[in-house]
A and B are shown apart, each in its own frame.
Chain A
Amino acid sequence: MPRAMELDINERRGERTPLDMLLKDIALGSRQAFEKLYRDSSPRLFAICLRIVSQRSEAEDVLQEVYATVWHKAAQYDVERAGAMSWLAMIARNKAIDRIRSQPQTRKTEPLELAEAVPDPTASPQLDAQASADRVRLDECLNELDERRRSLIRAAFFDGSTYEELAVRIGSPLGTVKSWIRRSLLQLRECLER
């Protein structure tokens, strides 16, 4: 798996990376390129799916859907718009979130403690050591947010929880949660564009 990490750490928008080239070959029908892309990227995409769709068999199912989509849509990948790993990660997130939205019984209800400042237990330390410039910048801007708002944004992003779920999980009114998140997003944008 270290191979996948090397690939995406160096990823920058607009530059060709091995994943970019694989996607280009996949768009032309190369199964070999597809298999290599799967080997290099699937542990990361599986982590994303598993975090959102907690049930393992469901997450495996979503991952199949993700790669079927990658095979069919590789030609639509636009290197100017997103890095290859980001593009793959966004497909995985979207499929995983669509899956849990279609199954109301899978709503996340476990309480969320916003004050805790513990590092994410599933964080990837290798990336922390060699974080890309974008990553450092996003971290800086997230760190400018109030600690509780920061953990709310992170929980929303990683778990794919809705406003309603988050309100229940932290025991605050829905309007308040919406308002915090929207203000945090605006603050984040302002910081990232500074």
Chain B
Amino acid sequence: MSTTKTLHVEGLDNSTDDPSGRAPLILKHDYKSVTDAVCGVVENPKIHPAWALGFLVALGGLGMLFALIVHLIATGVGVWGNNVPVAWGWPIVNFVFWVGIGHAGTLISAVLFLFRQNWRTSINRFAEAMTIFAVVCAGTFPGIHVGRIWLAYWLFPVPNQMLMWPQFRSPLLWDVFAVGTYASVSLVFWYMGMIPDLATLRDRARHPLRRLAYGVLSMGWRGSSRHWHRYERAYILLAALATPLVLSVHTVVSFDFAVSQVPGWHTTIFPPYFVAGAIFSGFAMVVTLAVPARAFYGMKEIITVRHLENMNKVILATGSMVGYAYAMEFFIAWYGGNRYEQFAFVNRAMGPYWWAYWTMVSCNVLSPQIFWFKKARTSIPIMMVVAIFVNIGMWFERFVITVTSLSRDYLPSSWAYFRPTPVDIGMLIGSFGLFFTLFFLFLRFLPMIAISEVKLVMPEPEPGTTAKRETTPLETAPASSN
């Protein structure tokens, strides 16, 4: 806004709280240098050893995941620690964990877009990619949890020789539709946002194969204003559609638990509580990934301290919402006077899984409280530690919900203690391998920052101040033919 004073910022710290103006979101860059910085990562012909090492480690994890899945299918779900009464063990915990992480991307893209939070532009591409990879990891677990995996298509309403149809009154089927819609709409949203940047890469490409690949991916985008007009309308609509979608996905996941009558699962705050928790874990994951990536790829002027601070504020807010929900559950269990409900919660905090419960509370509710201090919000080491704590805590939250309630339900004679098997643990680690394999590939081959959107929030150059017009390098460029 031209009426707002843009504050002057020294160095790389733009986290000022001065209310008399707005701090710049992108530092020391003009249009061209942003393009160069982001495209340079993809165009660099050298493979950095650190990237290669990380990629190989992730690939190893992925290989382990595949091997374990083959083992699982060949042997049966008995290789997991799932038992009766804990029939929903780690696979569901992992599923909810990954789906939760997959929420920040669409939240940053869509919700922050609707709220005109300009700082989203530096991190949205990143977060959307993370969303899709997390949803891929999430989708793996219910897929392999069905037992006879080759019949997984029964989840979908496909006409078949048995004349049978799925049972639409079950929340598990709602999940199929919610997660399926979420994955595909997120993919469309991500891809559509990337088209202009892919066109930039195409036009900069020197090698014909590269130009061909990015040319096909960018679908002939030319930056025409008539196209931009429709593109922007569609982008707003997608944001407006993705916002209720992101709410609905984790809501439906929470229905999986909350429509039942299991004490500790059936409580009405589950939908908003799950959504808040999902955003919480998603933002923590974005911080976990963005901090090393911005340092490694020299993006500190684009993903600035201000961006990180804002994310930490969101982590504090959503972490406290999650704390509110924990408190409400406890209070209402007491207030309602229902002895089963009361037992479930006492058992959570003091039963055999007390260690999981208190890990969860200290990671999710207590650790983000340090973000009340600005020093902590803007300190890279502290935010890394807290973000990793939150990731751990949110995994434990799903563990606590799933396992404590099931292991001690209405029938004391069938109470049992759940223990993961090495296969359970291997699969959790393997899912991280899958996630990071995709993520490393993304960093290498696609623009990790939404170039065209970042330019939108940069101050407009005054006429005559742009870099000297040079024509020489362009003369050497061959005419694009694709």
Is the A/B pair a real complex? no
Interface of A with B (CB < 8 Å)? none
Interface of B with A (CB < 8 Å)? none
